[in-house]
């Protein structure tokens, strides 16, 4: 057991060289590689954390948007529902108004039809009454209707002749208006009777198709008339009474 | 029978004799350097590590963790130094199984050289860490009376390191050689296996003791406060 000091020095030098070589070719590359990998892992971890944070932020944003969307949807639904209700109310009001207007139109139309019917009934009733009266007078009294009307008019004029003259003032034209032209004998009778009551009058005869059958005497501004209006109205009320009593349901009971 | 490879002259270079200790030391150095170069030549961050690189990383990180257990917060220079000590001694001892190879660590000159390097490294690391004044103060700790004892302690550490490694490796090699001449078939194999084990243990002990000596010289780093209940 001996120590070779030259070998000792050589081994110290060899060892130092080996330290440098291993530092150059082993430790530094390996440690740098480990450091780089750790840094890469750390970066990836940081990136993962950032990505996780971003994902969390995106998720929160998504939830916020979803909540806002739901809120917006409910608001839109409420708005649509209110709009639909308003529109429904407007349509119902418009329909009610249309129905009211149609009902009024229908009522007016019904009134027109009733007026037309009443007018037609008047005319037909008057013609019928006139025809029946004329035939009855001819058959029973051998007189004409116009002659009877003329005599009846004269009978009406007589008690009122003074009042008529006062009302007529200075007028001297006496006019007899009828629906149809009066026969000449009737005109002569009337003219004679009128001249007997009013000697200064000038008697004229006129026809008016719009006038109800009958006679109308006019002296200046005063006038007196006999027409079938009152008879026709009486006939109408009489027919209505009869129709009302006959149109209702009748209960027939068997006495036996 | 030569007890030391120092006495075996392998060849002469430029008139200087190169003994087996130096020669096999160079062999170990070439093996370690070339192996490291081959493994770390394509070391790039974008290339995934292969099994050899992973093995080296495990070895280096193992050494680093052992050093950190002894000297917490140590610099990388301590890893370079103590790691090289371990790799050199371990590789020398492992090559004991190669027929004809004489481990340099079986030479007292090698172990003495390594012990001297430790003796030089301890004050260097201490001065680097504490400063020259701070390091010299450690020799008079806890009192001035301890100065001669501390100096003796420094030298005795180196001597014990050198003798321990040399004695174990040399004795293993010598015993294996003796048994090879007596019973050449069975016992040498057993002794070689035992030599591998003791060689690795000795490499570990040498490196860890050197680390302990150096860590005792460098400034202690503050330990993290543990939470007390």
Residue of chain A minimizing CA distance to B61:
A31
What per-residue confidence (pLDDT) applies to A249? 54
Q: Is A18 an interface residue toward B (CB < 8 Å)?
A: yes
Task: Please list every residue in chain A whose beta carbon sits closer than 8 Å to the beta carbon of residue B84.
Answer: 15, 18-19, 22-23
Among the ranges given (A12-16, A53-57, A116-120, B82-86), the one the predictor scored with the smallest mean pLDDT: A116-120
Interface contact flag, A33 B43, Cβ < 8 Å: yes
Domain residue extents for chain A: 144-231
Q: Give chain B's contact residues with A (Cβ, < 8 Å).
A: 3-4, 6, 19, 21-22, 25-26, 29, 32-33, 36-37, 40, 43, 45, 49, 53, 56-57, 60-61, 76, 79-81, 83-85, 87-88, 104, 107-110, 112-114, 116-117
What per-residue confidence (pLDDT) applies to B91? 93
What per-residue confidence (pLDDT) applies to A241? 86
Distance from CA of B14 to the nearest CA of A (A): 15
Average pLDDT value over all residues in chain B: 81
Write the ipTM.
Answer: 0.85
Task: Please list every residue in chain A whose beta carbon sits closer than 8 Å to the beta carbon of residue B8.
Answer: none
What per-residue confidence (pLDDT) applies to A247? 57
Cα torsion through B83, B85, B87, B91, rounded to 10: 180
Tens digits of per-residue pLDDT, A67-121? Answer: 999 999 999 999 999 999 999 999 999 999 999 999 999 999 999 999 998 888 7
Q: Which among B85, B88, B112 has CB closest to A3?
A: B112
What secondary structure does DSSP assign to chain A, as a single string? ----HHHHHHHHHHHHHHHHHHIIIIIHHHHHHHHHHHHHHHHHHHHHHHHHHHHHHHHHHHHHHHHHHHHHHHHHHHHHHHHHHHHHHHHHHHHHHHHHHHHHHHHHHHHHHHHHHHHHHHHHHHHHHHHHHHHHHHHHHS--HHHHHHHHHHHHHGGGHHHHHHHHTT--EEEEEESSPPPHHHHHHHHHHHHHH-TT-EEEEEE-TTSPSEEEEEETTEEEEEESHHHHHHHHHHHHHHHHHHHS--------
Tens digits of per-residue pLDDT, B201-210? Answer: 888 888 888 8
Choose among A230, A57, A50, A232: nearest CA to A132.
A232
**Residues B183-194, mean pLDDT to the nearest whole number:** 74
pLDDT at B132 over 50: yes
Structure tokens of A97? 């108004």
pLDDT at B83 over 80: yes
Percent of all residues in chain B with a pLDDT value above 90, rounded to a whole number: 11
Mutate to test the interface with B, among A15, A31, A38 (most CBs of B within 10 A): A15
| Greater model confidence, B189 or B32 | B32
Best-predicted range by mean pLDDT (A108-117, A151-160, A171-180): A108-117
pLDDT at A235 over 80: no
pLDDT at A171 over 60: yes
Distance from CA of A45 to the nearest CA of B (A): 17
pLDDT at B227 over 50: no
pLDDT at A254 over 70: no
| Greater model confidence, A33 or B44 | A33
What per-residue confidence (pLDDT) applies to B84? 93
Tens digits of per-residue pLDDT, A8-52? Answer: 999 999 999 999 999 999 888 888 888 888 888 899 999 999 999
The model's confidence at residue B1, banded by pLDDT at 50, 70 and 90, is low
What per-residue confidence (pLDDT) applies to B29? 94
**Residues A124-151, mean pLDDT to the nearest whole number:** 84
**Residues B23-31, mean pLDDT to the nearest whole number:** 94
Average pLDDT value over all residues in chain A: 86
pLDDT at B157 over 80: no
Residue of chain A minimizing CA distance to B120:
A12
Best-predicted range by mean pLDDT (A1-15, A92-106, A120-134, B67-81): A92-106
């Amino acid at each position: 057991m001996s120590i070779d000091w030259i070998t000792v020095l050589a081994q110290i030098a060899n060892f130092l060289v080996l330290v440098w070589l291993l530092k150059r070719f082993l430790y530094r590359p390996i440690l740098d590689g480990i450091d780089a990998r750790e840094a890469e892992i750390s970066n990836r971890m940081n990136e993962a954390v950032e990505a996780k944070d971003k994902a969390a932020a995106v998720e929160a944003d998504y939830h916020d948007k979803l909540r806002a969307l739901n809120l917006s949807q409910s608001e839109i639904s409420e708005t649509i529902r209110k709009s639909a209700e308003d529109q429904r109310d407007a349509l119902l009001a418009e329909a009610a108004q249309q129905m009211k207007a149609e009902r009024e139109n229908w009522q007016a139309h019904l009134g027109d039809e009733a007026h037309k019917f009443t007018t037609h009934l008047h005319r037909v009733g008057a013609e019928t009454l006139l025809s029946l009266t004329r035939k009855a007078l001819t058959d029973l009294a051998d007189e004409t209707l116009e002659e009877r009307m003329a005599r009846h008019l004269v009978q009406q004029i007589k008690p009122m002749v003074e009042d008529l003259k006062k009302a007529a003032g200075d007028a001297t034209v006496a006019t007899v208006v009828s629906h149809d032209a009066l026969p000449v004998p009737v005109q002569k009778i009337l003219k004679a009777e009128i001249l007997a009551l009013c000697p200064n009058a000038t008697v004229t005869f006129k026809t008016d198709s719009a006038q109800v059958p009958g006679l109308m005497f006019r002296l200046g501004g005063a006038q007196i008339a006999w027409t079938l209006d009152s008879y026709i109205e009486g006939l109408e009320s009489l027919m209505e009474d009869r129709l009302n009593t006959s149109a209702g349901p009748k209960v027939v009971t068997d006495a036996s | 029978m030569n007890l030391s490879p120092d006495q075996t002259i392998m060849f002469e270079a430029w008139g200087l004799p190169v003994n087996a200790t130096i020669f096999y030391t160079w062999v170990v150095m070439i093996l370690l350097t070339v192996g490291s170069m081959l493994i770390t030549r394509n070391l790039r961050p974008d290339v995934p590590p292969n099994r050899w690189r992973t093995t080296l990383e495990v070895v280096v990180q193992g050494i680093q963790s052992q050093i950190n257990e002894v000297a917490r917060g140590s610099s990388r220079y301590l890893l370079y130094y103590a790691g090289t000590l371990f790799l050199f001694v371990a590789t020398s001892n492992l090559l004991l199984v190669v027929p004809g190879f004489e481990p340099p660590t079986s030479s007292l000159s090698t172990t003495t050289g390594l012990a001297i390097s430790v003796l030089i490294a301890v004050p260097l690391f201490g001065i680097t860490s504490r400063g020259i004044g701070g390091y010299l103060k450690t020799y008079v700790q806890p009192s001035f009376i301890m100065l001669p004892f501390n100096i003796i302690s420094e030298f005795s550490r180196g001597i014990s390191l050198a003798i321990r490694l040399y004695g174990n490796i040399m004795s293993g090699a010598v015993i294996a050689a003796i048994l090879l001449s007596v019973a050449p078939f069975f016992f040498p194999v057993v002794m070689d296996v035992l030599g591998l084990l003791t060689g690795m243990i000795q490499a570990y002990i040498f490196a860890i003791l050197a680390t302990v000596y150096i860590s005792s010289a460098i400034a202690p780093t503050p330990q993290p406060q543990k939470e007390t209940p």
